[in-house]
Amino acid sequence: MVLPFFCLVTEGVSISRHICSSVAGLLALCLGSLALSETTSTQVQIRQVAMEVEDRVIGWRRDFHEHPELSNREFRTAAAVAEHLRALGFDEVRTGVAHTGVVGILKGGLPGPAVALRADMDALPVKEMVDLPFASKVTAMYNGKEVPVMHACGHDAHTAILMGAAEVLAGMREQIPGTIRFIFQPAEEGAPAGEEGGAELMIREGALAGPDAPQAIFGLHVGPVPAGMIATGSGAIMAASDKFSIRIKGRQTHGAMPWMGVDPITIASQVVLALQTIPSRYLDITKSAAVISVGSINGGVRGNIIPGEVVLNGTIRTFHPEVQRALHDKMRAVTTGIAESAGATAEVDIQTGYPATINDPVLTHKMLPMLRDTFEHFVYAPGFTMGAEDFSFYQQQIPGLFLSLGVLPDGVPMEKAAPNHSPYFTVNETALISGVELLSTLAIHYLSTNQ
């Protein structure tokens, strides 16, 4: 998953002060102060314990970075996670969920609701170009080919952060009013060809089910903005991601005599240009953004032969189901119309992928005051990105809030930073502790305010 950060927009916070002139008002003020004191005390404890586990979190992250594993093959990572949760005395640790996923259950010492925290574990088929003492030199088989492997999207950081949060919260379990479910998920980047995986399979195999099923879920993703900055928004924040394949069938002929055949390369060129006009000419872009991109064109074997067919592959990004359906229909109509007008045929195959990542508005706005008060570098960012994330499948089941955490290396301007999925992507490890504190605080605040 590629995660550009939201357009960062700060909101002012108005503070009103009231003077209580009655006994009832004074009592309310005292009770409010007591609640604030308890909240502050809990936050101080979370921050202190988080600082104590910082070195271990960095160590875990480096270990996972040096030994990355591709989707549905995260055996070593999953074993380390499960061993850690068992050592912390978790009430239940399930392994082998959706192939290599781990689900841990931590029951607090006080009664209350249930909440979930999620991290993804998989790496990418990317050759690392960063000069680090723990840089990856791993290779693995991917769709029948041997490829280099790298944590180029920061999932090593996500896993280490959630392991740190598990240690923080396990040390506070007697004070926790409810149950916390820790979901370590494989294959966020997509399962290998012919396999299932990721959040959708985790859900089917019970990651959110059973006793003490969570009523809400939180997750985060790292990216190249200032280290320690935390951002989130309400509603649709990341796009639905669909993929398409278009097969244009013409009639092969000699390149010197194109009139003797039907040229699928010329037709494919017209289709590519026409697809780009669909979002700008057929959709109301004032209501919703959309993108169609062709990523590969394959056809022909030599320069003097016009081939019999050409295949186009690409991606579609939308934010609303009705726009998604309209765009799919228009793609089919435009493509087949162009092909038929030239005497060819076109087969359009569109495969629906991840839904849009939609932060639950009620949950988001309930968490906002705490986020603003607790985290100095928190930004409310009411925008969206065309990146996609399978955290969206959890949000289709229960209210969810997905946040961003900045990990920009020191001294690197944002405009020159390597993005997620780049072979030069780098994590500023000083920000990891902010992620531990963030997930721990979200869990405790949710449980405490939903009694």
Nearest to 166 by CA among 220, 105, 243: 105
What distance in Å separates the CA atoms of residue 29 and residue 20, rounded to the nearest whole number? Answer: 7
Q: Please state, in angstroms and as integers, the Cα–Cα distance from residue 161 to each residue in 55, 166, 377, following that order.
A: 11, 9, 18
What distance in Å separates the CA atoms of residue 432 and residue 421, rounded to the nearest whole number? Answer: 19
Please confirm, yes or no, whether 189 is among the known catalytic residues: no
Q: For 405-449, give the DSSP string.
A: EEEEPTT--GGGSPPTT-TT----GGGHHHHHHHHHHHHHHHHHH
What distance in Å separates the CA atoms of residue 65 and residue 149, rounded to the nearest whole number? Answer: 10
What distance in Å separates the CA atoms of residue 329 and residue 344, rounded to the nearest whole number? Answer: 20
CB of 206 within 8 A of CB of 121?
no
Residue 299: what residue type? G
3 state DSSP class of 8: coil
What distance in Å separates the CA atoms of residue 2 and residue 390, rounded to the nearest whole number? Answer: 11
> Could you say which of 354, 380, 394, 446 is catalytic?
354
Rg (the chain; Cα; Å): 25
> Could you say which of 69, 200, 429, 437 is catalytic?
429
CB of 443 within 8 A of CB of 117?
yes
What distance in Å separates the CA atoms of residue 137 and residue 429, rounded to the nearest whole number? Answer: 20
* Residue with the two structure tokens 């920009």: 408
Beta bridge partners of 241: 317, 354
Distance of CA 437 to the CA centre of its chain: 19
Please confirm, yes or no, whether 142 is among the known catalytic residues: no
3 state DSSP class of 335: helix
Sequence-distant (6+) residues with CB within 8 A of 301 are 307
- Give me the active site residues, please: 354, 429
